[in-house]
Structure 1
Amino acid sequence: MWKDVWMPGRRFEAQELLLARRERRLKQSDVARVVGVSAARVSAWETGRSVPDPEKLPRLAEALSCDLDRLFPRVGRPDLKDLRADAGYSQTATRELTRTSTAGPVAAAETAQRRLAAEYEQGVADAYGVSVEALRRAQERSFGHDVPEPGEPEAEAYGGASDTTLPATLDGKITYLLQQLPDPLSDAEIAERGNNRVTAPVLTADLVCGLRTGAVARASDDVLDALAEALDTTPLIFRSGDAGVQRIIAETLALKNQVAAIAARGGAESGLSAELLAFINQEVGKARTEAAEHHDQRRPA
């Protein structure tokens, strides 16, 4: 069974990769040679057993003589990680761009810990094939601000996107949830916040980093509970693979963002009255209950 896998920035479909290769009458070894991996790795991608790193997608598209956007459509506007991946750079390789001993400057900006120093911007932008202004817009998105591209309309009314589809992977969900927070959190802050709320030393900064980047693909229920508490959400977002539950959670998060946007524009003067707040709280409560009940009903006896 093929998998449709959501990755931050682009959507990867194993079946599309397989069909594109067969249409061009290429062997897996032909594709592997261009990408710089083994034929077995290409086979794993085509069967959905694994997913290529985002920075390998441009070489995959090149190997198949396909347009990158057509083969791997973008999901939303690009952030810094997306620009790096589209340029084919691993995070480690970016130290060549900043001429530093580590990838720290780029890594810190991608994880919303510290913005790129001005001295690095031009070199990084040139390597990514974008302007400094485009680089800065992507950086703001990494810090949770969905800045539109020139000529695009501002974010939709009330600041909420109409797409209520959640990422499929654990790291994708963590990245998505971090973008919903009003202030960026470091891995250490997430760990401390989650541990405090569940009153147990469950999370560490290293574990959070591994889960957020995809280096750690699975976690125990205790870890997921603490992570959900730290990111102001329900553990069901991580535990349940049911499409209905995920839809309810996504719509609840979208509603939460709309409320925050209305409040930021003037509170009661913009219609955020006590009556409206009571209604919103009631509906959010119903949505959470419905998600939990739906999940319990689908659980095997």
Structure 2
Amino acid sequence: MRSVRRAAEILQADVAAGVGAADSTVAGWELGSSVPDQEKLPALARVLGQRLDDLFPRSGPPDLTDLRCDAGLYRKDTPPIIGTKSDGPVAGAESGVRPLKDKYVPALAHAYGVTADELKRAQERSIAKARGEEVSAEGTDATTEKPPRTLAEKVTLLLERSYPTGDAPGDAKIAAAVNRYAGSRVTTAEGIEALRTGADEAPAPIVLEGLGEFFGVARLYFEPDEEVARQVYEGLRLMSASKSGKIGRVRARGLGAAGLPADVLSILNDLADEVEKVAPDTNE
């Protein structure tokens, strides 16, 4: 923090004013004698002119507490959001004691700046942690993670797995790429957002073709065919592991007889070996 602040020529007092803390408190953070509340980190990043993930990187996807803190909200701020008298529902979900009622999900997702699906996946991570279950790098229990089913889940998975270290393209960039592929204006940033959030489950075929071209997957991936989704899912999981420097042997966990074919699995594992040979100690 101190190095970033000095490099930006920002006064310690200005940081304190920007996050609503005393000068001495900020001094303590910089000295390491105390640490800021996690809820303060977004404000600190803004004052210092940095991206939150760059200044305070996190290992692995967020759980429910992380999402709330990333929005700069304390638990006491959540009752008005979900229309309750206490923060009990949020506290229970964050501690993994009981999941949120469905009626609370849309409002919380909006307040946290994420989709309902993203919030539900974060909740699954909170519950898994509370149970002491192993959570994979992708953020869910490695033994129960399943391929996506809805169109919104499929688009979200592509974004998460294709860009595991961040810097995922925005809706406007994706829309522009789809329009270039189509040769005309067939969608907008709002249209892509509707696909991500589940508001639109039936886009024009040309939009799906453009999405496939942009992400490098077959259009069949977006169709309601679970076996195709499983195969693309396994390929994405491999790519995510490669890009995040955690590549290893791939196996079709829990897919059963209808899961990933042996020849496809063999190709993926051969690719994993080749990536290890080319760049064993890097993320490239």
TM score, norm. by length of structure 1: 0.46
Q: Between the two structures, name the one with larger relative contact order (CA 8 Å, sep ≥ 6).
A: 1
